[in-house]
Amino acid sequence: MLFRRIYFLLLFLPLFGCGGGSASQSSSTSTTPAVQPRYYLGGGYPFPYDYSTFSANTSASLVSATAHVAYIQLHWQELANPGGLSLVDALKGPVASARQQGLKVYIAFDPLSLDRSQLQLPSGLAGDFTSSAVQQAYLSVVSQVASTYQPDYFVLMVEANLYSVNSASYAAYQQLYPQAYAAVKQASANTKTAVSLAYLDVNNQNCLDSSDRAVLASELAAFPKQDLFAISVYPLCYMDPKNIPDTFFSDVGALSTQPLFISETGWPSQLPGAAANEALQASYFTNLQRAANYAKSNGQSVDTINYVAMIDVSAQACNLLTQSYPQYGYWCTLGIRNPDGTAKMSYSTMKTWKQALDAGN
């Protein structure tokens, strides 16, 4: 069981780099409709998502306090999912609990390894996207997820551009993606569908600048059939959230005509040798809010900003992680709550942000 927990943890980590009915809205009457947020906030279920620690109901409750969208990221390989379940079966509890809380449902399908260089396939399947068997299995599983759960948002591959290191399989996936998009739409016409792309400081200069966005634009061009412009971004290269420009979202959002969907993001509350403490983490939310409002006020369409974790991993899991992968130490404290459930400063900041959105501000 311990191996499964840690294996899941390592597979589920976002890569480091600079890269529905809504919940808790104002009550409505027949004559006074509820105020709709200008955009939505999403929150990730506790990582590692483990039924022995957090029930699906507890996880959904943690999300609903500060967000409108339940961000549920699970895997194709059974070993990486709670209870060793298949993707479809593992989604059952989280999706049901999210809907009970009135949350929108965002399913992020992560079929890749931690370094995004290879597929992590379910039992009985081998190869990569150059294999017709893998292609058919992939089309089948995304169709089944869409049909069974009718999610509001469905990302069909997490950080797909990082899989480009496996060039032949990546090229095959790019050819397959339009079929996957069509399969989802046939099963669930209203599901907003995309792949997510990692927004990174590619040239290690000036943090996230125009040259980095040019790379992202070329990667986006390989997936023209999308309902969202979904990006993951961990902009620690700014060193301090106050350095994030007002144009943070409007600059990158201008690369696409589709609404900007921050598929995942975060800032640690502790990280030795870096600008990371609870106050700085809280300021990350303040600066994201500023950038999102700036983008909206300048005509940029922003759909959702998904924060990666509602609660930190346990100390044991963090220690095991950093012993093997010290470069991922930042991931241990991305949550807005401590492992024991107590709130950090960022919890109240995110909650206040959601309240402002629900009030139409």
Q: Is residue 31 part of a domain?
A: no
- Closest Cα partner for 7 from 332, 330, 312, 321? 321
Q: What does the pLDDT read at residue 11? A: 46
Give the residue carrying structure tokens 């022995």.
52
Tokens of 157: 């591959």
Could you report the per-residue pLDDT of 54-73, keeping only the tens digit for each? 677 888 999 999 999 999 99
**Mean pLDDT throughout 178-193?**
98
Provide the 8-state DSSP code for 343: B
Q: Is residue 268 part of a domain?
A: yes
Q: What does the pLDDT read at residue 323? A: 82
Q: What does the pLDDT read at residue 306? A: 98
Which pairs from 162-171 meet CB under 8 Å and 24+ separation? 162/15, 162/112, 162/116, 162/198, 163/112, 163/116, 163/117, 164/219, 165/116, 165/117, 166/117, 166/118, 166/128, 168/128, 168/130, 169/119, 169/128, 169/129, 169/130, 170/129
Q: Is the pTM of this model over 0.85?
A: yes
Quickly state the pLDDT bin for 47 (edges 50, 70, 90). Answer: low
- Helix then strand count (H, E) for the chain reads 11, 9
Q: Which amino acid is it at 16?
A: F
How crowded is residue 90: how many other Cβ atoms within 10 Å of its Cβ? 21
Residue 14 has pLDDT above 50, yes or no: no
Q: What does the pLDDT read at residue 108? A: 97
Tokens of 102: 């009135």
Residue 50 has pLDDT above 80, yes or no: no
Q: What does the pLDDT read at residue 31? A: 52
Q: Is residue 161 part of a domain?
A: yes
**Mean pLDDT throughout 331-357?**
94
Q: Is residue 315 part of a domain?
A: yes
Residue 330 has pLDDT above 90, yes or no: no
CA distance 108 to 122: 16
- Closest Cα partner for 156 from 112, 124, 212? 112
Q: Which amino acid is it at 44?
A: G
Residue 25 has pLDDT above 80, yes or no: no
Q: Is residue 30 part of a domain?
A: no
Residue 34 has pLDDT above 70, yes or no: no
Q: Is residue 45 part of a domain?
A: yes
Q: What is the DSSP string of 206-264?
A: SSS-HHHHHHHHHHHTT----SSEEEEEB-GGGSSGGGS-TTHHHHHHTT-SSPEEEEE
**Mean pLDDT throughout 200-228?**
96
CA distance 317 to 341: 16
Kindly give the interhelix angle for 92-100 and 56-64, rounded to the nearest 10 degrees. 40
Q: What does the pLDDT read at residue 53? A: 59
Question: Are 181 and 168 spatial neighbours (Cβ–Cβ below 8 Å)?
Answer: no
Q: What does the pLDDT read at residue 76? A: 97
Q: What is the DSSP string of 2-30?
A: HHHHHHHHHHHPPPPSB--PPSSPPP--S
Q: What does the pLDDT read at residue 113? A: 86
Supply φ then ψ for residue 15, to 5 degrees. -70, 140
Among 129-143, 274-288, 289-303, the range scoring the smallest mean pLDDT is 274-288
CA distance 117 to 163: 5
CATH number, domain containing residue 86: 3.20.20.80
Cross-strand bridge partners of residue 106:
71, 153
Work out the mean pLDDT of the chain and round it to a whole number.
88
**Mean pLDDT throughout 226-230?**
98
H helices within 91-240, ranges in order? 92-100, 132-149, 167-187, 210-220
Residue 269 has pLDDT above 80, yes or no: yes
Q: Is residue 63 part of a domain?
A: yes
Range of the domain at 200: 2-23+36-358
**Mean pLDDT throughout 82-94?**
93
Residue 19 has pLDDT above 60, yes or no: no
CA distance 342 to 62: 11
Question: Are 54 and 46 spatial neighbours (Cβ–Cβ below 8 Å)?
Answer: yes
CA distance 317 to 218: 37
Number of structural domains (the chain) is: 1
**Which element (helix H / strand E) includes 306?**
strand 302-307
Q: Is residue 324 part of a domain?
A: yes
CA distance 242 to 139: 43
Could you report the per-residue pLDDT of 252-265, keeping only the tens digit for each? 999 999 999 999 99
Quickly state the pLDDT bin for 21 (edges 50, 70, 90). Answer: very low
**Mean pLDDT throughout 289-305?**
96
